[in-house]
Homo-oligomer: A and B are copies of this chain.
Amino acid sequence: MVDRQPLPSWNDGPARSAILDLVARVTKEGSAEFVPPAARIATFDNDGTLWCEQPLQIQFFFAFDRVKQLASKDPALSERQPFKAVLERDYNTLFSLGKQALFELAFATHAGVTDEDFVQAATEWLATARHPKFDRLYKECAYRPQVELLGYLRENGFKTYIVSAGGVDFMRAFADEAYGIPREQVIGSSVKLRYDLIDNRVSLVKLPELNSFGDREVKALNIALHIGHRPLLAFGNSDGDLAMMRYTRSGSGARLALLLHHDDAEREAAYDREFRLSPLSEALDKAQDYDITVVSMKKDWNIVF
Contacts and interface: CB of A to CB of B under 8 A. Distances in A.
Interface of A: 38, 115-116, 119, 159, 168-169, 172, 176, 182-186, 190, 193, 195, 197, 200-202, 204, 211, 217, 220-221, 224-230, 243, 246-247, 250, 289-290
A116 B230 contact: yes
A186 B229 CA distance: 12
Copies of this subunit: 2
15 contacts: A168-B225, A183-B227, A184-B185, A193-B221, A193-B225, A195-B220, A200-B289, A200-B290, A202-B246, A204-B220, A204-B221, A204-B224, A204-B247, A211-B225, A226-B226
B201 A184 contact: no
Contacts of A176: 38
A250 B168 contact: no
Contact of A169 (B169, B193, B228, B243): B228
Given A115-B224, A224-B204, A229 B195 contact: no
A250 B202 contact: yes
A224 B200 CA distance: 19
A243 B182 CA distance: 25
Given A221-B195, A228-B183, A247 B200 contact: no
A218 to B, nearest CB: 9
B184 A243 contact: no
A195 B172 contact: no
A244 to B, nearest CB: 9
A89 to B, nearest CB: 31
Contacts of A38: 176, 182-183
